[in-house]
Amino acid sequence: MARLTTIDAAGTSIAGPTATLIYDDWYPALRSSQLRGKILATAMLLDLPLVLGRKSDGSIFAMRDSCPHRGIPLSHGWFDGNQLTCRYHGWEFEPCSGQCATIPSLSKEDKLDPTRIYATAYPCVEKDGYAWVYIPRPGAGRKLDPADLPAIPELPKFSDKYRTAHLTADLPCNVDHGIIGLMDPAHGPFVHQAWWWRSRSSIREKTKRFEPIPQGFRMAAHAPSGNSAPYKLLGVYGHPVETTIDFVLPNRRYETIRCGPKWFASLTTVTPVTASTCRIDVVGAWNVFYHVPFVTPIAKFFGNKFVQQDQETMIQQAEGLKHNPSLMLIDDADKPAKWYFALKQARLENNPEARHPLEGPVDLHWRS
């Protein structure tokens, strides 16, 4: 597989290891709030350049950012709210289907029917503040009927009134390293040292039960870590606090915290931008402290600090990974990473009969 380069915070080129990508699924391309008016936006997803926009009727679209005629990026063209026009020769496309409507250079002598030509368009849906794009595997052909596609990921909500926030960070590592970093339970006291979270001196023995679920695994409902300050705040509601965490292929971590009628939920995705780089996106929703002034900017401030700590660590890790060192996974703290790789391999082999790496509930033990 070709090696790609990334750039660290100092502007130094890093040659990082690549990862095999999972296709035939939904990925968040960008925040849907970026799609407004007649503005075109670009994104890179699974090594594919995309152009995205919002039509006059409010629907959003995603196309490969390449005209099928001569390859110029369609994002350099014009969008009137309904048709996307290539700036090179004026070919016009309906962006949701990719169907060509007009080729200005055709004369009455030409027999070519423009409507039989299609630029590459991908299913694109707005959900939880993201433009989710379905990326089929290479050679799979056009897939635009929602009935043929898996369900679009959605953040669970448990009441009518709630607040939301979004966070994002680019990571100079491949999606595998991003994901196993996401599910790693042992890095918290070292990477996320802070007075408002935890410190190295707060490390304690922990036992968590994991259960198999389709395309993933679940950390069963449990009392959250007593050495994390934010969880202690929920004690003001006077109800037991329970946390459930699910990991679902290809890249999703769902966390739900319940405290009687109060709740917090988050969906974190680690999305491959290229084969060697990825991006972490977090959307959270909650009704805890709903009437507390400024709770959303406060939550975003501390959440950004948390994500930045992971980002800085990944940049530092990338310095070591560029030399392709031998790596190891240990039990029990790294067992979820082993499950992830086993599930991913079965998915890549398109083997629905493959045995789940968890044959049943299992308890894992670690210190963090």
Instruction: Tell me the per-residue pLDDT of 35-60, one tens digit each, with 9 for 90 and over.
Output: 999 999 999 999 999 999 999 999 99
DSSP 8-state secondary structure symbol assigned to residue 222: E
How many degrees, rounded to 5, is the angle at CA 351 between CA 348 and CA 352? 120
Segment 16-23 mean pLDDT: 86
Handedness of CA 225, 231, 236, 238 (dihedral sign): negative
Could you tell me which residues are beta bridge partners of residue 243? 222, 257
N- to C-terminal Cα separation, the chain: 36
Say what percent of the chain tops pLDDT 90.
58
> Does residue 104 register a pLDDT over 70?
yes
Output the average pLDDT for the chain. 85
SS3 at position 236:
helix
How far apart (Å, rounded) are the C-alpha atoms in residues 172 and 12?
11
Predicted confidence at residue 217, as pLDDT, reads 96
In the numeric block, the tokens 């052909």 are attached to 141
Residue 1 pLDDT class (50, 70, 90 cuts): very low
Predicted confidence at residue 227, as pLDDT, reads 46
Instruction: Tell me the per-residue pLDDT of 279-298, one tens digit each, with 9 for 90 and over.
Output: 999 999 988 866 565 556 76
Task: Check if the beta carbon of residue 7 is closer than 8 Å to that of residue 318.
Answer: no
Residue 8 pLDDT class (50, 70, 90 cuts): very low
Query: Based on C-alpha coordinates, what's the Rg of the chain?
Result: 23
Instruction: Tell me the per-residue pLDDT of 110-168, one tens digit each, with 9 for 90 and over.
Output: 999 999 999 999 999 999 999 999 999 988 877 666 778 999 999 999 999 999 999 99
Record the pTM. Answer: 0.86
How many degrees, rounded to 5, is the angle at CA 152 between CA 297 and CA 351? 130
Instruction: Tell me the per-residue pLDDT of 196-215, one tens digit each, with 9 for 90 and over.
Output: 455 566 677 888 999 999 99
Q: What is the DSSP string of 77-111?
A: SEE-SS-EE-TTT--EE-TTT-BEEE-TT--TT--
**Long-range CB contact pairs, 85-93, < 8 A, 24+:** 91/67, 93/63, 93/119
Report strand pairing: 278-286 vs 163-171.
antiparallel
